[in-house]
Structure 1
Amino acid sequence: MSKEARVGAIARAVQELQDATDQIDELAARRLGINRTDLRCLSRLTARGSLTASELAAAAGLTGGAATTAIDRLERAGLARRIRDESDRRRVLVHLTDRAHEVGEQIWGPIVTDASAELHRFTTAELDVIERFLHRALDNQTRHADRLRSQGPHR
């Protein structure tokens, strides 16, 4: 297979992976009784730990108001709670609840287990390449999300 054909095959595989991930996210949001924005906030809290509302807004690419609304919905769903920071009483942190951790494990635990088993099949050198590709792909996606955000809505 030529290099161009290999690049095309990888690009198609990445698109298929993104679509499959999107499908999992949709099903997970439905199961949790939340919307996709709320799920994105849940994901950021899972990945980064407790955050202030403004930190969560930045991490999820939301305005402050949209993040506050999402946090309110996550609290009503029993997935997050606001707790005053004990080291700085002026700060309020958004924490995941035990329920969020439990349902997260039910939904994503098997996916993580299977993915980990697959990754263990690669050599260390292959894992280095995969990790480098994923970092570059993330940088690319982040850069283009910023570009699209700065352009505003299409008219």
Structure 2
Amino acid sequence: MSKEFRVQAVARAVQELQDATDLIDELAGRRLGVNRTDLRCLSRLTARGPLTASELAAAAGLTGGAATTAIDRLERTGLVERVRDTADRRRVLVRLTAPGRSAVQEIWGPIADDARAELLRFSVTELELIETFLRRALDNQARHADRLRGRTARP
């Protein structure tokens, strides 16, 4: 097989993975009664732990107002809560509630477990290659998100 054939095969596989991820997000949003923006906020809170509203806005690529609206919606669903930071009582953090953590685990836990099992089948060298590809793909997506927002694309 030619290199071009392999490049096309990988590109198709990435597109199919993106479509499958999109479907999971749609189904998860329906199950949780939230929209895609709210899901992105849940994802950031799951990955990073409690964040201030401004930190969550930056992590999710939202304006401050959009993040506040999303947090309000997520609070109404009982998935997140605002709490005072124990280290700095002036700061308010947004964190997943116990039901929020359970919902995230119920939906994405089995997916993560299966992905981990698949990754364990690869050698360390193969995993390094996969990680390199994914980091470069992520950087590509970020550059083009900036482009689509009308910002100057990063070099």
TM-score by structure 2 length? 0.95
* Cα distance in 1 for residues equivalent to 2:138 and 2:80: 27
What amino acid does structure 2 have at the position aligned with 1:98? A
Q: How far does residue 135 in structure 1 lie from its aligned partner after superposition?
A: 0.7
Name 2:104's counterpart in structure 1.
Answer: 104
Name 2:46's counterpart in structure 1.
Answer: 46
Name 1:67's counterpart in structure 2.
Answer: 67
Q: Which runs of 5+ in 2 are unaligned?
A: none
What amino acid does structure 2 have at the position aligned with 1:141? Q
Name 1:58's counterpart in structure 2.
Answer: 58
* Cα distance in 2 for residues equivalent to 1:97 and 1:3: 48
* Cα distance in 1 for residues equivalent to 2:77 and 2:145: 29
* Cα distance in 1 for residues equivalent to 2:45 and 2:86: 18
Q: Which runs of 5+ in 1 are unaligned?
A: none
Name 1:14's counterpart in structure 2.
Answer: 14
Aligned length: 151
* Cα distance in 2 for residues equivalent to 1:146 and 1:58: 13
* Cα distance in 2 for residues equivalent to 1:84 and 1:137: 37
Identity over the aligned pairs, expressed in percent?
A: 75
Name 2:4's counterpart in structure 1.
Answer: 4
- After superposition, the CA RMSD in angstroms is 0.8
Q: How far does residue 150 in structure 1 lie from its aligned partner after superposition?
A: 2.4
Q: How far does residue 113 in structure 1 lie from its aligned partner after superposition?
A: 1.0
